[in-house]
Amino acid sequence: MSNRTYDHSEEMSTRAYNSMIGLILLIGFGINAFMARYLTESIMQIPRSYLIIGYFIICITGILMSEISKSPSVSFIGYLMVVVPCGALLAVAIEDISVGVVVHAAATTSLMTIIMIISGTVWPDFFDSRGRVLSTCLGAVIVIELVSYLFFTSTMPTFWHHLVVVLFCLYIGYDWAKAQEKEHTLDNAVDACVGLYLDIINIFLRLAEKDSSNKSSSRK
């Protein structure tokens, strides 16, 4: 019997690396589904301001932990610190949205994700060269939505959700292409999941909100 121990800094095959990314993402989405199904009532008891402040503090800490750490276990804890507060906000956001709309948004998000992962694999240079533009656009989205929420209304028009969905679709291609450039280690697989998870969740939430708004409008 071999006494060789596995070195987490050792490179994995491309198939194993990408499979690990997929598995870690599924774990995150599974946690979110569990929270939405069983913990929504408890989460709703938390004051909205506390929920949002806690989200930013815990989520940013988790992102930094994952980025800085070279340990897969520490990076995975950082990943969970992103998944759990996102799941709490997600549970609140989709509480009044019908199951049909949620399923449709999830299916559409899955299809978009697959298309953008394939695109990021086939045309990595295209996405890699758009990193600065995407960062600028994301910063603009954050500022515009924050100003709108604080001074105007928290409801954004449908075309705005379309634009944000396109932005995060491009981010999936970008984050996937960047992940493939790195050494195929377990720690890098976990790190890649943080960005991809946030991209996918943002697309799902925008689509769910858009579909729900469209159904509400059609009933009037």
pLDDT tens, residue by residue, 20-44: 999 999 999 999 999 999 999 999 9
Residue 5: inside a domain: no
**Which pLDDT score is estimated for 161?**
87
Nearest to 88 by CA among 199, 195, 205, 194: 205
% of residues, the chain, pLDDT over 70: 90
pLDDT of residue 187: 97
Q: Residue holding tokens 């990021």? A: 120
- pLDDT at position 215 is 54
Confirm whether 195 is domain-assigned.
yes
Rounded-to-integer distance, Cα 58 and Cα 83, Å? 10
Q: Is residue 1 part of a domain?
A: no
Q: In this predicted structure, what is the pLDDT of residue 181?
A: 96
Complete DSSP assignment for 67-88: HH---HHHHHHHHHHHHHHHHH
141 within some domain:
yes
For 14, the token pair is 């491309």
The predicted pLDDT at position 10 comes to: 82
Residues 168 and 137: beta-carbon distance below 8 Å: no
pLDDT band at residue 7 using 50, 70 and 90 as cut-offs: low
Q: Is residue 84 part of a domain?
A: yes
Q: Give the pLDDT of residue 8.
A: 58
Rounded to whole angstroms, the Cα distance separating 72 from 25 reads: 15
Residue in 217, 214, 179 with CA at minimum distance from that of residue 18 = 179
Residue 8 lies in a domain: no
- What letter represents residue 210's amino acid? K
Q: Which domain holds residue 72?
A: 14-213
Structure tokens at 48: 């909205």
Show the DSSP H helices in the chain as ranges. 14-38, 40-44, 48-68, 72-93, 99-122, 124-128, 131-151, 158-181, 186-219
Residue 6 forms part of a structural domain: no
What pLDDT, on the 0 to 100 scale, is given for residue 146? 83
Q: What is the pLDDT of residue 158?
A: 80
pTM above 0.95, yes or no: no
Structural domains counted in the chain? 1
User: What pLDDT digit, counting tens, does each position of 79-122 carry?
Assistant: 999 999 999 999 999 988 999 999 999 999 999 999 999 999 99
CA atoms within 13 A on the CB side of 109: 25
Residue 202 lies in a domain: yes
pLDDT band for position 211 (cuts 50, 70, 90): low
**Each residue's pLDDT tens digit, 160-191:** 889 999 999 999 999 999 999 999 999 999 99
Tell me the pLDDT of the chain averaged across its residues. 90
Residue 154: band (very low, low, confident or very high) from pLDDT cuts 50, 70, 90: low
